[in-house]
Amino acid sequence: MSSASELAELHALIGDLRRCVLGLKTRFGDIPGMRRIEMDAERILADVQLLESDAGELDLQRWAAERAQEKIAIPDTEYDSEFWRDVDDEGVGGHGRY
């Protein structure tokens, strides 16, 4: 079972849980125990949403790690001197500013 289908099933189960909690709240009223159960159901939904967000970030990190393994060749030849024209040396200051 893929994580997407597992998360979809989890959302469906949380929907069922919320409907049951609403039914119990109708029966027992707004008592402290019902408020705790209601908050717990909402917290579970929020935690699942955070899990989905984290899973998305993990997929991005996995993709970035795969990309980092790709090597880019950098030539050893000298750059054209025009490339460096009007460039300041870091920590030394600009050319002609002595």
Residues 16 and 30: their CA atoms lie apart, in Å, by 20
CB-CB contact of 61 with 34 (8 Å)? no
Full-prediction pTM beyond 0.85? no
- Residue 30 pLDDT more than 70? yes
Q: Is 97 helix (H, G, I), strand (E, B) or coil?
A: coil
Average pLDDT, the chain: 80
What pLDDT was estimated at residue 18? 93
Q: Is 91 helix (H, G, I), strand (E, B) or coil?
A: coil
Residue ranges per structural domain of the chain: 3-68
Tokens found for residue 68: 């980092």
Residues 64 and 39: their CA atoms lie apart, in Å, by 37
